[in-house]
Amino acid sequence: MADEQKGFRLSRRLVLGAAVIGGAVLWGGTTMARLARGPSGPKNAGRIADIDGIALPLKPIASPPVFDPLLPWSAKGGDINDASGLSRTPVYGVVEVSEEDHVAKALAFARANGLKVSLAAIRHSMGGHAFDDNALVLDLKKFNKVTVDAAAKTMTLQPGARWHDIQNLLHPRFAVKAMQSTDIFSVGGSLSVNAHGMDHQAGSVAGSIRSMRVMLADGSVTTCSATENSELFRHVVGGYGLFGVVLEATLDIVDNAVYRTSREIIKSDDFPKFFAEVLEPNKDIGLFYGHLSTAPGNFLEDMIVYRYDKVAEEPPADQPDIGEPGSVGLKRVIINLAKWGSVFQELKWFTEKTLEPKFENCTVARTAAMAQGEACLVTRNNPMHDSVPYLFNDLNDETDILHEYFIPRAAYVEFITEAREILRNQSLPVLNASVRIVHKEDVALTYAPEPAYSLVLYINQPTDADGNAKMRALTRALIDVTIKHGGRFFLPYQLHYTAKELQASYPELPAFLAAKRHYDPTELFSSTFYRGIKALSGVA
């Protein structure tokens, strides 16, 4: 009898243990699958409805005008959101632009019916920059033609063209001169924020523009450049779509040079010296990327410096198509696990520091460019052709938010020291941190009135009220330390700043808003962002 009871107890323990283990395996498998899964649709988690306590939503139009049947509407009414998922906004309608005449007719319809107009494409700005309550939104994604003039080394393109597609068109002979470090954005969006990226010599996109054709609020079309109608040019570039619709832009392109890739780990505090002694004087370093550790053990202390040294002006004739990112599911899991705490953040840093170099994709035959032996060789297009699919997920109760802060170069070490303490003493997971080089930018609402370094952060937050409150508090703390050191924050992101912070960072704002009223007296072009900065500036 005792033996039977012992056997029963043993069997029950085995069953219970097997159930626990099986449940853990099932949970683990289900969890990993969820973390690896790509987005099933855009995130749409509500709306951050104020800027510094000023309410942003507007009342619906009492008697909305009848939709013009001659316009290509893709939506009549409804809501729209951006990449944050936290800017859900009701709009009058969306016109799907594919030709210049659509723009002219849509603006005329809006003027005749008292509607505001917003300009949208990929919508990766995160504070209602591409739409507004009750606005007629021009969706420019299909307004995307590109032509290349090989002799002049230029391309002329419409604003909806995506950098990803442009690179495929230019490859293998040519490459983009200036764009963001990822290629998911539209040209129009990049022009509107004066984007910058991996080419520390080329600087921002503004420096690559030969000319632009712009349709103003009254329907007239004008050409502008750094030397022709230069004041309009300075306000359209970095003007957040508030001065007119860019119908086409002619940009410089460059040779698709071959680079030898390398990386080294330095201390973050040593970066200014590294830039001055290594990066800046060496004109053959065509691209650069500085990736800071976000692991708790050396948070923002160690930096991986990725550099690309030119070894040939042109790639071999048999250069293959540009490859798409690999191991997307695994990379997505690693990034999503990093949101769960220090162990996984250390794992992510170990992967970046130790494992990534072993899987580097060397796309040019090692003997094809100046006999570099065992060097890893790539063309310029390869590192710039990253659409970062691994950053997008199906976790709908959270979102990932970009920040960028521009610091005068002499203040870098002191700024990073204080920013490090702010970020360590808050609870939102910092998923990525990098350092970029920016030059003095001669645009009306400049983020860099002098040469600067920028700190780019990618931070996760819950999409509930508590998550929004924590992100707002963190943003303001980082803006304050940036201002303390003579820097500025980038405007394409969430509207978490105060009137005092905005005015301190952008003393040119009153002149910018005055120019807006000069070129667009009826304020036809609008956005939630525009109403927000206008309210914080004290302009009625």
Q: What is the DSSP track for 245-289?
A: EEEEEEEEEEE--EEEEEEEEEEGGGHHHHIIIIITT-TTEEEEE
Q: What is the DSSP track for 340-386?
A: G-HHHHHHHHHIIIIIGGGG----S-TTSSTT-TT--EEETHHHH--
User: Do 218 and 180 share a domain, yes or no?
Assistant: yes
Domain boundary among 253, 272, 301: 253
Chain-centroid distance of CA 391 in Å reads 11
* CATH value at residue 203: 3.30.465.10
Which residues share a beta bridge with 155?
Answer: 148, 251
pLDDT (tens digit per residue) in 98-124: 999 999 999 999 999 999 999 999 999
- Cβ atoms of 136 and 157 closer than 8 Å: no
345 pLDDT more than 50: yes
User: Do 298 and 350 share a domain, yes or no?
Assistant: yes
Q: What pTM was computed for the model? A: 0.93
Residue 61, domain member (yes or no): no
Of 294, 489, 345, nearest in space to 403 by CA: 489
User: Do 248 and 260 share a domain, yes or no?
Assistant: no
CB atoms within 10 A of CB 182: 17
Residue 504, domain member (yes or no): no
Residue 214, domain member (yes or no): yes
Domain boundary among 232, 253, 274: 253
> What's residue 356's pLDDT?
78
Measured CA distances, 462 to 104, 396, 398, 471 (Å): 41, 9, 4, 9
User: Do 431 and 286 share a domain, yes or no?
Assistant: yes
User: Do 229 and 262 share a domain, yes or no?
Assistant: no
CB atoms within 10 A of CB 21: 10
Count how many domains the chain has: 2
Residue 171, domain member (yes or no): yes
> What's residue 474's pLDDT?
98
CB atoms within 10 A of CB 180: 21
Residue 166, domain member (yes or no): yes
CB atoms within 10 A of CB 179: 25
User: Do 281 and 379 share a domain, yes or no?
Assistant: yes
Q: Count the alpha carbons within 13 Å of 197 in the hemisphere toward its beta carbon.
A: 26
- Cβ atoms of 230 and 221 closer than 8 Å: no
- Cβ atoms of 461 and 399 closer than 8 Å: yes
Domain boundary among 481, 496, 511: 496
> What's residue 371's pLDDT?
47
User: Do 202 and 330 share a domain, yes or no?
Assistant: no
Residue 211, domain member (yes or no): yes
**Cα separation of 363 and 152, whole Å?**
27
pLDDT (tens digit per residue) in 136-190: 999 999 999 999 999 999 999 999 999 999 999 999 999 999 999 999 999 999 9
> What's residue 22's pLDDT?
52
Of 184-188, 365-369, 372-376, 511-515, the least confident: 365-369
% of the chain beyond a pLDDT of 70: 92
Residue 235 structural domain: 144-253
User: Do 220 and 352 share a domain, yes or no?
Assistant: no
* CATH value at residue 329: 3.30.70.2520
User: Do 278 and 343 share a domain, yes or no?
Assistant: yes
79 pLDDT more than 70: yes
Please tell me what DSSP assigns to residue 449: S
Residue 397, domain member (yes or no): yes
CB atoms within 10 A of CB 530: 21
User: Do 240 and 334 share a domain, yes or no?
Assistant: no
Encoding tokens for residue 271?
């970066």
User: Do 292 and 345 share a domain, yes or no?
Assistant: yes
Task: Work out the mean pLDDT of the chain and round it to a whole number.
Answer: 92
pLDDT (tens digit per residue) in 286-340: 999 999 999 999 999 999 999 999 999 999 988 899 988 888 998 999 999 999 9
Residue 72, domain member (yes or no): no
User: Do 276 and 365 share a domain, yes or no?
Assistant: yes
366 band by pLDDT with thresholds 50, 70 and 90: low
372 band by pLDDT with thresholds 50, 70 and 90: very low
pLDDT (tens digit per residue) in 8-48: 444 655 555 555 455 545 556 788 889 999 999 999 999 99
